[in-house]
């Protein structure tokens, strides 16, 4: 496992960072050569033009990522546990799936998909709970060269249908239902509703999980367990070009329509492996647990591809932190003797708000590294995590990255480089950040503050938005030409450590979920009585941010409480419960510029509790409404 590409000391990190920036092609050529199996080597390491943008890593190379995640480990690690699966209900049995078993199950699932007509290049949608079949399905798609599009199982029928239609998926995999805490989500019913408007879908594969009653469309639906039992457990891995698509994953956009971020086989594999090993400093005996859902990029990169390509034991948890009680995470850490634990600030804050005895009553002594991801972590939560969970001896890696970046970009390396509370700290080798001022000029001296860009390609970067390259260019490469613009604001201290301060565009991060305000507004506007709406985020103790909706009505509502309830329902139905507004304020008008753009800046201030100091509002079309909104603030 020892590799000169995995830093063990601060000196190593400095050396790797330098090499990766002085001669990136040499650096990635050597890492990719030494650490993976390729069916054919590349002609060029990197070709790029960030204006178009066009990015190609390892052009000419051929591989299959599942051979790197599975087959190559079999001779030495065949009987090692690849996945520990922990069910929602602690009374149900845990599963320990070895690398050998995982390979055989992935092959079965791959043959099952083939028998249903799946081919290389097809898009396959996975709308599944956190069960082992989800891991098999993801890897099975990769095995046969089909492009997976995992849709988080908390999304509504409408959101699911939009994503299936955007990618023109021909197969959907789901389950009869999903367990989450004390609730059962009727996944098959939701999928049925979605599929009534998805003509591209030929087959729907259903895993039996909750044994809930389901409707059956005999032309279209098949049971996983029936097809899986018929399938052989050997399946040759499809030969993929390094730049072939591996998956599409949807993330919120500011114009309402979610963006299907495209990641490719070679670069993504290299990046998730490199970052996983460096950041978490995984050692062969470690038990590693990332609490994310596979429906998000964190689950793709750091439950599945990164850890498996590194031959790690990765824990996959079906449940939620609060069921059966707020001690569940710590019970699982104790039960499986977890060494590396990776979660989100929103989970940390909600656990912090519960009684300390939930943590103190469990043996957490196996923990040696803690991680966080998803949003800025506040000092109080950081200190609680450090003290109550890490007992002050675990390094905390605060990992900044995005769906678009494929893997971790800025983070300390556990126990190797220093951490600093609320700072993501230093860039990963291969990452060249730049802070831009309002004029688009790079701020070179420290300390610095501005917008965060990345000025040189890295292997894990998204290549396009599925079906809309122009939107990809516009969103990420037009604001600061020649650079990738992250959409985040950031600060850099006198030592060059980065602190991410949050989104500077119209995205709100609620409980670590990235939500587009425009998408939520579109949903609210579906209510017949709503005339216009403006959605902003405001700080919330547990969720990080919460949603505040300002709405105007076509006529005066008869019952304000009923209207609010209906607005919440429509958002739940069209997007999903995670996007529900916490506060809804009915206004007579929304502040607008003369060109008719809603001034969200002012609403954001009001929502977060500032009721004066709005700057110059005299240029507004309707300045009088500001005072009314401020004085009626909820
Ligand atoms: C946005 C990306 C990356 C997987 C989870 C979210 C915010 C993420 C951090 C961090 C401060 C962070 C940023 C980023 N974010 N990690 N450690 N510190 N902010 O992926 O849904 O694509 O969201 O999450 O604002 O742009 P995502």
Domain boundary residue, one of 236, 264, 289:
236
Run means of pLDDT, 10 residues per run, the chain, 634 residues: 91 98 98 98 98 98 98 98 98 98 98 98 98 99 98 93 97 98 97 98 98 97 98 98 98 77 98 98 97 96 98 98 97 98 91 93 98 90 96 98 97 97 97 91 95 97 98 94 94 96 79 82 89 90 91 91 95 91 94 75 89 76 89 92
Prediction pTM value: 0.89
The Å distance, Cα 67 to ligand 1 centre, comes to 30
Q: Is the dihedral of CA 355, 356, 359, 362 positive or negative?
A: negative
Distances in Å between the alpha carbon of 51 and those of 44, 454, 472, 510? 20, 13, 11, 32
- Residue 7 falls inside a structural domain: yes
Pair 417, 426: CB distance under 8 Å: yes
On whether both 21 and 130 belong to a single domain, the answer is: no
Which range of residues forms the domain containing residue 567? Answer: 507-631
How many domains is the chain built from? 3
Pair 476, 175: CB distance under 8 Å: no
Domain boundary residue, one of 211, 236, 261:
236
The per-residue pLDDT for 253 is 65
The Å distance, Cα 631 to ligand 1 centre, comes to 33
Q: Which atom of ligand 1 is nearest to the CA of 503?
A: 25
- Residue 116 falls inside a structural domain: no
- Residue 72 falls inside a structural domain: no
- CATH classification at residue 149: 3.40.50.980
Centre a 10 Å sphere on the Cβ of residue 555 and count the other Cβ atoms it contains: 7
On whether both 312 and 339 belong to a single domain, the answer is: yes
On whether both 94 and 204 belong to a single domain, the answer is: yes
Q: Which atom of ligand 1 is nearest to the CA of 512?
A: 6
The Å distance, Cα 75 to ligand 1 centre, comes to 37
Q: Which atom of ligand 1 is nearest to the CA of 404?
A: 22
- Rounded distance, CA 60 to CA 55, Å? 13
On whether both 24 and 151 belong to a single domain, the answer is: no
Q: Which atom of ligand 1 is nearest to the CA of 401?
A: 3
* Ligand 1-lining residues (CB < 6 angstroms): 251, 297-298, 373-376, 398-403, 424, 486-488, 500, 502-503, 509, 514
On whether both 205 and 320 belong to a single domain, the answer is: no
- Residue 582 falls inside a structural domain: yes
On whether both 224 and 272 belong to a single domain, the answer is: no
On whether both 262 and 227 belong to a single domain, the answer is: no
**Nearest residue to 111 via CA among 245, 204, 234, 205:** 234
The per-residue pLDDT for 512 is 81
On whether both 249 and 386 belong to a single domain, the answer is: yes
For residue 496, give the 3-state DSSP assignment.
coil
Instruction: Give the start-end residues of each E strand in 158-269.
Output: 171-175, 178-180, 183-185, 203-207, 221-223, 240-241, 245-251, 259-264
């Amino acid at each position: 496992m020892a590799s000169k590409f995995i830093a063990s000391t601060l000196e190593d990190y400095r050396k790797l960072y330098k090499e990766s920036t002085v001669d990136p092609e040499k650096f990635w050529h050597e890492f990719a050569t030494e650490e993976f199996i390729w069916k054919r080597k590349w002609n060029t390491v990197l070709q790029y033009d960030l204006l178009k943008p066009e990015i190609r890593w390892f052009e000419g190379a051929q591989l299959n990522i599942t051979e790197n995640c599975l087959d190559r480990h079999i001779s030495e690690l065949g009987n090692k546990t690849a996945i520990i699966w922990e069910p929602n209900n602690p009374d149900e049995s845990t599963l320990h799936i070895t690398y050998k078993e995982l390979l055989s199950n992935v092959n079965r699932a791959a043959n099952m998909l083939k028998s249903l007509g799946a081919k290389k290049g097809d898009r396959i949608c996975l709308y599944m709970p956190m069960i082992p079949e989800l891991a098999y399905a993801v890897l099975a798609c990769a095995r046969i060269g089909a492009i997976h599009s995992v849709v988080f199982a908390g999304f509504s029928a409408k959101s699911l249908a939009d994503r299936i239609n955007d990618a023109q998926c021909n197969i959907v995999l789901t389950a009869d239902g999903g367990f989450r805490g004390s609730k059962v989500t009727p996944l098959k019913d939701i999928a049925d509703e979605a599929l009534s408007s998805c003509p591209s879908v030929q087959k729907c594969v259903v895993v039996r999980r909750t044994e809930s009653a389901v409707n059956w469309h005999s032309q279209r639906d098949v049971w996983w367990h029936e097809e899986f039992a018929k399938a052989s457990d050997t399946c040759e891995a499809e030969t993929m070009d390094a730049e072939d698509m591996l998956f599409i994953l949807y993330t919120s956009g500011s114009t309402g329509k979610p963006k299907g971020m495209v990641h490719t086989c070679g670069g993504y594999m290299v990046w998730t492996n490199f970052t996983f090993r460096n950041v978490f400093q995984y050692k062969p005996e470690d038990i590693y647990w990332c609490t994310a859902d596979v429906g998000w990029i964190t689950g793709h990169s750091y439950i599945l591809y990164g850890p498996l390509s590194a031959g790690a034991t990765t824990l996959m948890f079906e449940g939620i932190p609060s069921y059966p009680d707020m001690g569940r995470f710590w019970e699982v850490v104790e039960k499986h003797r977890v060494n590396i634990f990776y979660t989100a600030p929103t989970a940390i804050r909600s656990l912090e708000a519960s009684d300390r005895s939930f943590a103190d009553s469990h043996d957490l002594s196996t923990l040696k590294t803690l991680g966080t991801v998803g949003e800025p972590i506040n000092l109080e939560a950081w200190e609680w995590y450090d003290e109550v969970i890490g007992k002050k001896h675990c390094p905390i890696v605060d990992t900044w990255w995005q769906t678009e970046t494929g893997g971790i970009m800025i983070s300390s390396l556990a126990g190797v480089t220093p951490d600093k509370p609320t700072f993501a700290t230093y860039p990963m080798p291969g990452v060249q950040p730049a802070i831009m001022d309002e004029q688009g000029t790079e701020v070179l001296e420290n300390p610095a503050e501005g917008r965060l860009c990345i000025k040189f390609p890295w292997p894990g970067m998204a290549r396009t938005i599925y079906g809309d390259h122009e939107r990809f260019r516009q969103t990420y490469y037009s604001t600061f030409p020649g650079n990738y613009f992250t959409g985040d604001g950031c600060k850099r201290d006198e030592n060059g450590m980065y602190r991410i301060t949050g989104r500077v565009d119209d995205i709100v991060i609620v409980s670590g979920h990235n939500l587009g305000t425009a998408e939520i507004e579109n949903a609210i506007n579906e209510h017949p009585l709503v005339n216009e709406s403006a959605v902003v985020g405001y700080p919330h103790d547990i969720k990080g941010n919460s949603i505040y909706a300002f709405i105007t009505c076509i006529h005066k509502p008869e019952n304000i409480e009923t209207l609010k309830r209906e607005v919440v329902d429509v958002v739940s139905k069209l997007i999903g419960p995670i996007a529900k507004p916490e506060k809804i304020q009915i206004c007579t008008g929304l502040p607008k510029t003369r060109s008719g753009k809603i001034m969200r800046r002012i609403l954001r201030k009001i929502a977060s509790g500032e009721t004066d100091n709005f700057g110059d509002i005299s240029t507004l079309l309707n300045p009088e409404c500001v005072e009314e909104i401020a004085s009626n603030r909820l």
